[in-house]
Structure 1
Amino acid sequence: MAAIIIRRTWSRWSVQQRIFAVLLVALAATAIAAGISVSLAPARISFSVANATTSRIPVEGSPSLLNSFYNLTLVANNTSRRTKVRFAAVSAQIWYSATGYVLAEEVDAAAALPGWRSPRDVAGVAVWAEYGQYDEKANTAASNANKTGKELDAEKATEQDCRVVVEAKVRFKYGLAVTMPYNIRVSCLHVNFSSSANVSAVQCS
Structure 2
Amino acid sequence: MAKVAPPKSPGKWWSTKRYILAGLAVVLAVVAVVSVFSIVLSPGEIHFSIISQASNSDPDGRHPLIELNLTLAANNTSHRTGVRYRSFLVYYLQYAASSTEKVKYSTPAKVIRAPPISQQPPLSTAEVEVSASLSMDEPAMSGGRRSNNNNIISVLLVSVVQFKAGPAYWLPYQVRVQCNPIDSLFSGSLATPINCTS
What is the TM-score normalised by the length of structure 1?
0.68
Say which of 134, 139, 152 aligns to 2:137.
152
- With 183-192 and 9-18 compared, the bigger mean Cα shift is at 9-18
Question: Partner of 1:54 in structure 2?
Answer: 55
Q: Which letter maps to 1:33?
A: V
Question: Partner of 2:81 in structure 1?
Answer: 83
1:28 aligns with 2:19: no
RMSD (CA atoms): 3.3
Question: Partner of 1:148 in structure 2?
Answer: none
Q: Which letter maps to 1:49?
A: I
Q: In the TM superposition, what is the alpha-carbon distance from 1:196 to its structure 2 partner? A: 6.7
1:120 aligns with 2:123: yes
Q: How far apart, in 2, do the equivalents of 1:71 and 1:79 lie?
A: 25
- 8 Å contact kept, 2:110–2:132: no
Say which of 147, 155, 160 aligns to 1:164.
155
Q: Which letter maps to 2:162?
A: R
Per-residue CA distance 1:81-131 (angstroms, 9 max, x = gap): 22211111111222211222323236488x642211111111111112233
Q: How far apart, in 2, do the equivalents of 1:108 and 1:86 lie?
A: 18
Q: How far apart, in 1, do the equivalents of 2:33 and 2:175 lie?
A: 25
* Pair 106,21 (structure 1): closer, same or farther in 2 beyond 3 Å: farther
Q: How far apart, in 2, do the equivalents of 1:105 and 1:195 lie?
A: 18
Identity of aligned residues (%): 25
The alignment of Structure 1 onto Structure 2 pairs a total of residues equal to 172
What is the TM-score normalised by the length of structure 2?
0.70
Which residues of structure 2 form unaligned runs of 5+? Answer: 1-5, 59-63, 96-101
Per-residue CA distance 1:42-78 (angstroms, 9 max, x = gap): 2121100132333369xxxxxxxx9743321111001
Higher fraction of strand: 2
- 8 Å contact kept, 1:39–1:174: no
Q: How does 1:1-205 map to 2 (within 5 A)?
A: 9-40=9-40, 41-55=42-56, 68-97=66-95, 98-105=102-109, 107=111, 112-132=115-135, 152=137, 160-195=151-186, 199-200=190-191, 201-205=193-197
Q: Which letter maps to 1:102?
A: S
- 8 Å contact kept, 1:102–1:131: no
* Pair 89,44 (structure 1): closer, same or farther in 2 beyond 3 Å: same
Q: In the TM superposition, what is the alpha-carbon distance from 1:6 to its structure 2 partner? A: 7.0
Per-residue CA distance 1:118-153 (angstroms, 9 max, x = gap): 111111111122334xxxxxxxxxxxxxxxxxx637
Q: How far apart, in 2, do the equivalents of 1:56 and 1:191 lie?
A: 15
Q: How far apart, in 2, do the equivalents of 1:177 and 1:108 lie?
A: 30
Which residues of structure 1 form unaligned runs of 5+? Answer: 58-65, 133-150
